Structure 1
């Protein structure tokens, strides 16, 4: 079971650096990004440079410009214009990431400095994901197999997908047998297109490419989505692949008036130490979600993406008016756990442009 862990001495730092798409100071420079973290999901070294675009809207009362953009690694190359960006106008920063020679976890940052005639503001953008190692032979490369068909991995992480957009991944599939095989897919949900690029038949000891499109609409709920899709070889089930994506709102369409009346989410507390729990039982804890803004706060989703032993009670209401709060019940099922210490997190998705995804950190021990 994969659990994201956070060293206790770093918890406070983690809480203070929660994902946010909003950058604001007491001066005149106000900008809202479509996101400040981009998740590539799972990529391969052979895919080459990955290019993405961060969009932002200038909600200041005067033009601003990008003074400087610095990346934390030479593998990351930002491109941007130094032209003035008028109020209520969208600007873009294009970022290229080169995964060649960098297998494993992606964790990079890009520091953006905005300016006008008086002020300077800094926003830090983040890149995350995982790069699969380049292998020298097919046996090592396609290690996930049932003997009839083989893949690099059975988890296809599409990464971050903004509402109304489509994410595409291309994965390689291999025929390890001495006979030609025909590959199909079953139980495909409506928001996913998956197909072999070209003919669905694969020659012996040869590979083909699978095209996966993950589609979203403006009406979708923000959250983490996961689907199991069976692979069929010669009309018989082989194994299932898991397709995963994180769907977020795009706040670059917000107006100055909406920004002034924005909701503001607060988790009380943002970090919960549950103490020592007995194995084989279920434990219930409660926290508050509070709206300290002016407009109603809508809670779209609450998930624990890497903790299947955590579930949530039903909210009494998912629209929280200004100065109001609602309790959320968190249930930990220790029947699914071994003894030991656990540190994980939950994600609360809402319509706060300052914190559209707010993390709640959990810590406990099982004995």
Structure 2
């Protein structure tokens, strides 16, 4: 038996002995019910917990509290006489909840009584339909997604991610990648330019920064020609070009620059669309090497006094202003940002955002 299965069994045993103390005249001979392995596709399952009134007066169940909408209790509010028995049915809906579960149910009864019972088990996920696995259409072709985020892409390196696609038709499909606007670092490759009916393939999106002098936000787009027809679905690939920190030693990382901002967000509240709003921020280099700005991108309504050409020495602090231009802004929430790329290995990309509610 695999170690994780043994662990689940042991944990189940521990759960049984770890229920909160029962403070009630209602006695539940069975406080934990394990449904075992159930299938998501089979729908809800239920179990009846029996109890007995061990007290000397009738008892009414006043409230049953569950921790999740997936768990539904059914019970009677009729008084249970001394020595009488009753049941509480607990149903569990596994839809959208694959994996192991444990749900505690708290029962409050008249006279301040409190009991806790539990259900446990493990849900086997249902097989997903083609439309769920491949929700994006490009002509007759189905794909898993239309966006790819490659995250941080170190300069001088290559990074790639894939999109799986599927031919759900009864005929072969021929495919070609089309770039609306060429980006020197973006390449998209198909595992096969022809895919047979009911077959899968992989589309690989690559950012190659070995010979590209770029910093900061990377963005690219592409489309697919399917059977000589240009699909109207556009795909996007994003990333962030940063320093390559992969070769730094532990000592070098310890000495590396560390950008510490007093704040990176401010909301001006209700404002008129009348001009410029200004807010000061302070940036401190908490590292032991100079902090360098690799790139700065200003939003359309943003400006700043921060000089991106200036290095910030270890221990040095710089106070700068950031301005949000509200002139001509439509009524409602207004937000814009500045994206900074720095040589801080812990977080090479930083964002400063300003917001306001523009009155009508």
- State TM-score, norm by structure 1: 0.49
- State TM-score, norm by structure 2: 0.50
Between the two structures, name the one with larger relative contact order (CA 8 Å, sep ≥ 6). Answer: 1
Q: Which has the greater radius of gyration?
A: 2
